[in-house]
Amino acid sequence: MADYPAELVRQRVLFDGSPVTIRPIRAADAPLEQDFVHHLSADSRYKRFMSTLNELPPGKLRYLTEIDYVRHLALVAIIERAGQEVEIGVARYVAGPKGDDCEFAIAIDDAWQGSGVAGILMLSLIDAARARGMKTMEAFILAVNDKMIKFARQLGFTVRRDPDDPGMMHAVRPL
């Protein structure tokens, strides 16, 4: 596992003036990640995980938080609330078998959608993926997830229906 990439820690400001910290996830963030998933609406959990899970099973939680920062990178958006860190969003990529392409996923707490945090996370993730040698980024998006399809297009992804699954859209962008 690579060292923690402290150079990716950033302080940003959301549209409403709220300060947010963008940083790579750590294994110690497992409770924060679990709490984040608990607070997502059923619809948001379904659109992110494409299942109706209510909480992350231990193996999935480890997979999402114990990463190598090169082939698998996750950036979390953190705010302070009553002196505690609260995760309000996460964007990640996982490299494909070739090692120079990756698939991304993003989830934003329902209360923070439209705040600008998704754009901040994705632009940071795209820059980090490019710096780690990724040439292409892609995602598979539920065809009914209009907001995510629009967002991917705004970020420069080409979005087309997946020929193998009409219920899915395939978003691709060169880095």
pTM, whole model, 2 decimals?
0.93
- How many angstroms separate the Cα of 39 from the Cα of each of 28, 68, 87, 127? 19, 26, 10, 28
pLDDT in tens, 111-169: 999 999 999 999 999 999 999 999 999 999 999 999 999 999 999 999 999 999 999 99
Tokens of 171: 């978003």
- Predicted local distance difference test score (pLDDT) of residue 54: 73
Whether the pLDDT of residue 90 is over 80: the answer is: yes
